Structure 1
Amino acid sequence: MVWDAPAVERAIGFFRDVLRLNGGEFEGKPFLLLPWQCFIVGSLFGWKLGDGSRRFRMAYVETGKGSGKSPLSAGIGLYGMVADGEPRAEIYAAASKKDQAMVLFRDAVAMVRMSPALSGRLGFSGGPGREWNIDYLQAGSFFRPISSDDGQSGPRPHVALLDEIHEHRDNTMVEMLRAGTKGRRQALIFMITNSGANRTGVCYQYHLYAADVCAGVKTDDSFFAYVCAVDEGDDPLADPSCWAKANPSLGHTFQTRYLEEQVNQARGMPSKEAIVRRLNFCEWTDAAEHWIGSDLWDRAQADDIDVEALRGLPCWLGLDLSSKRDLTALAAAWRHPDGALSAAVWFWTPGDTLDERARIDNVPYRAWVSEGHLLAPPGRIIDKGHVAQFVGRLAVEHDVQAMAYDQAQADDFLRACDDIGLDAWIDDGEGSGDGLRMIRHGQGFAGYQSASTMWMPRSIGALEEAIVGGTLRVRRNPVLTWNSASAVLLTDPSGNRKWDKRKATGRIDGMVALTMAVGAALALRESVGTSFWES
């Protein structure tokens, strides 16, 4: 690789000498890049490969709101259009919604209109305030907005500027634009965003990839990343000293007073806290009433749990069956001699509706299936027989003590067990049976601490205590992470809690199954009998 200093000076000089800022106190002033912006522009245009082409083909920039990402992005697009030597350059301002794409595009329009060097060379389609295209006839180039809603196909971008990646429903726009760059030797995909509230979306995937590339965990010399955020353990609502970590333009494009106002409102309005943490401090938030901190959940997950190695340990299951096309989830919790738990969760979804439901739920079901995180047998509903066979194998291979179950769909599951020859019996506290022992687990507030019924408030408390205390390790699964990030608790006047599927931001079936399995493992004795509650 080669560091091309003249190319860096030319690109940074383009902002200073050609472009003018717009809006408020910055109206008409030269675009003097801040140090962090110089680093980005210099890195993108300065690093070259041996053949003279640029090293970076994709860039991901994540900072707090108000840092000036959109004007920076617009300036990069204009440079690619008029100063990059690319004939018939196609420049796109892309977003999930046309209104969002227009934010970045309007910055470009204003820069052109205020630039003595550009205003006489470039033209517009659409009247003042209604522009939809910037053209550079001399080179046959254009700059225009595009959104996922347009349904456009066939763009061949030289520079594609993707705004607010965290609002993109899926990776369709990114991949469409990337596919169009194959004929462009110097093409650049430039993505900018705040942090988001969806840890299964396309933005979080790029966020994690960016972190891995920067840390050297993954090698990708064509991918540039610049990610700003407060560190784990920082509390921006209590400690202003960490604010600059997520806001590289603090004191320039906006002042400390703005963040002080945002923080004060977040302290007085809990409903605003998640938004402030996400937009201003780049903390990836989940549901507004999330049941547990994402940092605690992350620490509970493990990649080294080998189910086969857990044979011989007492095991408890939790089963949450879907009614029609929802997820079906089965959880297993193994108890070690020291009382610690290892757990895993498996998921099923109908194979015939996989793509349809991926669009509805806005998650990559097909990718999860191919990676082995989700089972998708053929059909439009889940055949209980598939689940019964899986449970039967676990019962044969592991020391399964009992399975906690939701009463809904239980009769169908028992019939499926009969069909495949799996003995199963419901322990009502009055006798014993042969085969798989099943114990009813209530899903609501009401329940009985008796020999025949478990209840959700107690199991939720047991799960939380195990996670907070570090005694539970759960095999990592992105489907379960999505469920956890979507989960919301509902509390009754007595302080009892249950999962609230109506307020959940996504599906939570895996968390329901895990709660039942862990609750059973921590509450039930290992022996079969009429009294199985721990004293």
Structure 2
Amino acid sequence: MTPTTDPPKPLTREQLIELCDPAFMAALTAGNNGPLPERRRTLGPTWVRWVHQRCVFGEGDRFGQPVRMEPEQQAAFWKLAELEDDGSRRFEFALISLGKGAGKSPLLAWVGEIDVASDCAVFKEWAPNGNPRGKARGNASVIVLASSFEQTRHVFDEMAVSFEMEGAPLRGRAVVMKGAIEMTDRKASAERMAATPKQTDGSKASTLLVDEVHEMTSELQERAVTVAEGGTGKRADSLIVWGSTAGTHLDTMFGRKVAQGLRGEFTREQLFLYMRADDRIGQDPDPDDETIAAGIRQANPLAARGVAKVRRLVSKFRGMPLYRAKRYYWNIWVPVDASWLPAGAWDACGPKSNLMVETNLDWRTWVGADMALKRDSAAVVVVQRRPDGKFQATAKIWLPDGGLVNQAECDDYLRLIASTHSDFQWIAADPAWWPTLPDLARGDEEAGIEPLPIFEMPQQGRNMVFAYSRLYKLIVQQELVHGGDPAFADQITSAVPNSTDRGWTLKKGRHRRRIDCAPALAGAVFATTLEPREVPEELPPFQIR
């Protein structure tokens, strides 16, 4: 990476006020945040100049290119680096909550890089012209904290690229490892941690970057953040930055902090930057593309500027459940028990007068199975590809009998489907919840029982995240049809979304209604993406153990 042009000069205060998205500037300077500081009371432009000279983008279309900060990002630096009259840092804490794609992760990464590698992290002295000069921080310690080690990669990897990429100005100044960046020319480091008290105990971060705080909903995670923040209190001019989109639980650490900021209760040492779509847009149950785009621009200053491609973000909005899209792209808090499907979407896939749902023994067939040995039901969902290109789904459900589901009956049903459909492909199921799955996959040669084509699909794995997303699209776009079975419908529509650091899945709602058909259907839908297997010309005989 070799810069082809000289880095641009930082924008002046007057230019920032003129060029920044007005809604962003209003949010940045609202309440106790106060106005954009005068040049003589911030290291912001010094930070911007250093980032332009030293850092490269770590993701997206501009990967590896020299960083060129947008006006809104520069303005945020002016506030984060604001100084008191004695040169000490004004802000000890900052909460930044914007829509997805607004550049939160790069912003946090640049703050971390400044702390560990720059010569301007903290105040040194006043220049003759009255402007502040910075200096390197002694023994800098940056911690990137998230709900899981995997989640920390968004900020940490953004930092690491500037030290690793061939030709990058910072290359060779640090040793980059999987979990840490160790500077070689000074005593300074950056470390990534999962939010557990054991991990954060004893830490003394000069800069603490907490990413996607809405994921931290457990008492253990909250305690880990509290411990880490306590450690920053032992460092002079330390800074804590929370970055996140909206969450689902207001009664969480993040939710309570956002509510506090909205009530205007942040102190002078706390920065509150929060942007979201307005209520008129947020309450639209069926937004069109124009409305979606308007909400995205309200929550994302880079989209409002045109840097983030709004059409692409609208497409991503359309590709996920409305509740989740509102949280991610409109930055609106949505209760966890909101339906995962738009109202009426499942019913719209039901039988119509000219579209009969009948199982055909000659169509290509996939199966998804979900078993619960106690209390819950078990479900086997058959998905077939129709001649018109649509997928059709039918379900068979077993309820507990005396506290137990009849395992042998479920197994026999799988063998029946496999042996009677001429183009039978795969069975997707989680072996943790279907104890006889290995036996089904092995078959029994002596008893003449053929092995079944099993694809193991753990319900907590990445494949399920993809499966639910694909299922959502098929339902919303009415590319899946069903026969209107009320028990099937109840289980599908009773599921509620569950956000994880890997993406969203489904779980039971507050009323604890059975939802076994949901993972079974998602598994079958995922199986349709697997490589087709060769089917024997003669079907194996159906055998019951």
TM-score by length of 2: 0.49
Q: Using the alignment, how far apart are the partners of 2:266 and 2:196 within structure 1?
A: 34
Q: Using the alignment, how far apart are the partners of 1:102 and 1:219 within structure 2?
A: 29
Given the superposition, is the C-alpha separation of residues 285 and 137 from structure 1 closer, same or farther in structure 2, using an over 3 Å criterion?
A: same
Q: Which amino acid aligns with 1:207?
A: V
Q: Using the alignment, how far apart are the partners of 1:118 and 1:81 within structure 2?
A: 11
Q: Using the alignment, how far apart are the partners of 1:200 and 1:290 within structure 2?
A: 20
SS of the residue 2:248 aligns to: coil
Deviations 1:236-271 (A, max 9, x none): 7231333211111116553122232134445xxxxx
Q: Which amino acid aligns with 2:296?
A: W
Q: Which residue of 1 aligns with 2:80?
A: 44
**Which shows bigger deviation, 171-180 or 182-191?**
171-180
Number of corresponding residues: 292
Q: Using the alignment, how far apart are the partners of 2:203 and 2:281 within structure 1?
A: 43
Q: Which of 108, 111, 134 is the equivalent residue of 1:76?
A: 111
Residues 1:135 and 2:182 are matched in the alignment: yes
Q: Which amino acid aligns with 1:283?
A: I
Q: Which residue of 2 aligns with 1:212?
A: 263
Q: Using the alignment, how far apart are the partners of 2:315 and 2:101 within structure 1?
A: 14
- Counterparts of 1:154-233 in structure 2, within 5 Å, are 154-170=202-218, 171-213=222-264, 218-233=265-280
SS of the residue 1:183 aligns to: coil
1:274–1:288 CA contact under 8 A, matched in 2: no
Q: Which residue of 1 aligns with 2:88?
A: 53
Q: Using the alignment, how far apart are the partners of 2:50 and 2:108 within structure 1?
A: 13
Q: CA deviation at 1:23?
A: 3.0
Q: Using the alignment, how far apart are the partners of 2:208 and 2:266 within structure 1?
A: 23
Q: CA deviation at 1:149?
A: 4.1
Q: Which residue of 1 aligns with 2:169?
A: 117
SS of the residue 2:169 aligns to: helix
**Which shows bigger deviation, 134-143 or 220-229?**
134-143
Q: CA deviation at 1:6?
A: 6.2
Give percent identity, aligned residues only.
20
Q: Using the alignment, how far apart are the partners of 1:221 and 1:263 within structure 2?
A: 36
Q: Using the alignment, how far apart are the partners of 2:85 and 2:509 within structure 1?
A: 48
Deviations 1:170-211 (A, max 9, x none): 422321121101221110001100111112111111211222
Q: Which residue of 1 aligns with 2:406?
A: none
1:64–1:246 CA contact under 8 A, matched in 2: yes
Deviations 1:18-76 (A, max 9, x none): 1111334202222111122112111011x212321111000111111121111111110
Q: Which amino acid aligns with 1:88?
A: N
Where does the alignment leave 5 or more consecutive residues of structure 1 unmatched?
Answer: 267-271, 292-491, 509-535
SS of the residue 2:69 aligns to: coil
Q: CA deviation at 1:133?
A: 1.4
1:287–1:504 CA contact under 8 A, matched in 2: no
- Counterparts of 1:380-459 in structure 2, within 5 Å, are none
Q: Which amino acid aligns with 1:259?
A: L
1:68–1:253 CA contact under 8 A, matched in 2: no
Q: Using the alignment, how far apart are the partners of 1:43 and 1:243 within structure 2?
A: 24
Where does the alignment leave 5 or more consecutive residues of structure 2 unmatched?
Answer: 1-33, 122-135, 341-485, 497-506, 513-545
SS of the residue 1:117 aligns to: coil
Q: Which amino acid aligns with 2:309?
A: Q
SS of the residue 2:301 aligns to: coil
Q: Using the alignment, how far apart are the partners of 2:307 and 2:158 within structure 1?
A: 15
Residues 1:256 and 2:291 are matched in the alignment: no
Residues 1:33 and 2:69 are matched in the alignment: yes
Deviations 1:328-354 (A, max 9, x none): xxxxxxxxxxxxxxxxxxxxxxxxxxx
Deviations 1:113-144 (A, max 9, x none): 236331122222x3xxxx22111243311001
Q: Which of 229, 245, 263 is the equivalent residue of 2:298?
A: 245
Q: Using the alignment, how far apart are the partners of 1:161 and 1:71 within structure 2?
A: 11
1:92–1:159 CA contact under 8 A, matched in 2: yes
Q: CA deviation at 1:169?
A: 2.4
1:66–1:253 CA contact under 8 A, matched in 2: no
Q: Which residue of 1 aligns with 2:155?
A: 104
2:95–2:241 CA contact under 8 A, matched in 1: yes
Task: Name the structure with the higher helix share.
Answer: 1
SS of the residue 2:150 aligns to: helix
Q: Using the alignment, how far apart are the partners of 1:133 and 1:208 within structure 2?
A: 34
2:56–2:65 CA contact under 8 A, matched in 1: yes
Q: Cα RMSD over matched residues?
A: 3.1
Residues 1:279 and 2:314 are matched in the alignment: no
Q: CA deviation at 1:290?
A: 6.0
Given the superposition, is the C-alpha separation of residues 287 and 96 from structure 1 closer, same or farther in structure 2, using an over 3 Å criterion?
A: closer
Given the superposition, is the C-alpha separation of residues 6 and 277 from structure 1 closer, same or farther in structure 2, using an over 3 Å criterion?
A: closer
Q: Using the alignment, how far apart are the partners of 1:58 and 1:507 within structure 2?
A: 39
Q: Which residue of 1 aligns with 2:47?
A: 11
Q: Using the alignment, how far apart are the partners of 2:77 and 2:281 within structure 1?
A: 29
Q: Which residue of 2 aligns with 1:470?
A: none
1:67–1:253 CA contact under 8 A, matched in 2: no
Q: Using the alignment, how far apart are the partners of 1:86 and 1:265 within structure 2?
A: 45
Q: Using the alignment, how far apart are the partners of 2:189 and 2:76 within structure 1?
A: 24
SS of the residue 1:155 aligns to: coil
SS of the residue 1:144 aligns to: strand
Q: Using the alignment, how far apart are the partners of 2:64 and 2:495 within structure 1?
A: 52
SS of the residue 1:119 aligns to: coil
Deviations 1:354-404 (A, max 9, x none): xxxxxxxxxxxxxxxxxxxxxxxxxxxxxxxxxxxxxxxxxxxxxxxxxxx
TM-score by length of 1: 0.50
